[in-house]
C-alpha cells in the first residue's frame, strides 16, 4: 500500500477515534467528576487530553512508513 493511501486511511481513523474518545471523556467527566476536588478534575483533564496520543502512535508509525520502492 502506498504512503498516500495509508495517510488517507489513517487520517479518517484518527478523526473517528478522536471524536469518539472526546465524547467518552466528556461523558466520564460529567458523570464522575462533578463533585470531585479541583485537583482531581485538573488531573483528569490533563491525562484525558493527552491520553489519545498513546493508542494512536502505532497507527501514526504505520502511516509514516516509507513505500517499498523508496527504500
| Count: domains in the chain | 1
**Boundaries of domain holding 51:** 3-63
**pLDDT value at position 32?**
85
Q: Does residue 71 lie within any of the structural domains?
A: no
pTM of the model: 0.82
Q: Does residue 26 lie within any of the structural domains?
A: yes
Q: Does residue 38 lie within any of the structural domains?
A: yes
- As a whole number of Å, the CA-based R_g of the chain is 17
Q: Does residue 69 lie within any of the structural domains?
A: no
Evaluate if residue 68 carries a pLDDT over 90. no
Q: Tell me the three cell numbers of residue 42.
A: 485538573
- Tally of residues, the chain: 71
Q: Does residue 70 lie within any of the structural domains?
A: no
Q: Does residue 25 lie within any of the structural domains?
A: yes
**pLDDT value at position 71?**
58
| Chain centre to alpha carbon of residue 26 | 14
What is the tens place of the pLDDT at every residue in 10-36?
A: 999 999 999 999 999 999 999 888 889
Amino acid at each position: 500500500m502506498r504512503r498516500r493511501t495509508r495517510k488517507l486511511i489513517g487520517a479518517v481513523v484518527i478523526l473517528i477515534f478522536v471524536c469518539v474518545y472526546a465524547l467518552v471523556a466528556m461523558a466520564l467527566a460529567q458523570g464522575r467528576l462533578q463533585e470531585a476536588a479541583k485537583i482531581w478534575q485538573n488531573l483528569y483533564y490533563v491525562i484525558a487530553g493527552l491520553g489519545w496520543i498513546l493508542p494512536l502512535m502505532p497507527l501514526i508509525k504505520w502511516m509514516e512508513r516509507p513505500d517499498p520502492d523508496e527504500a
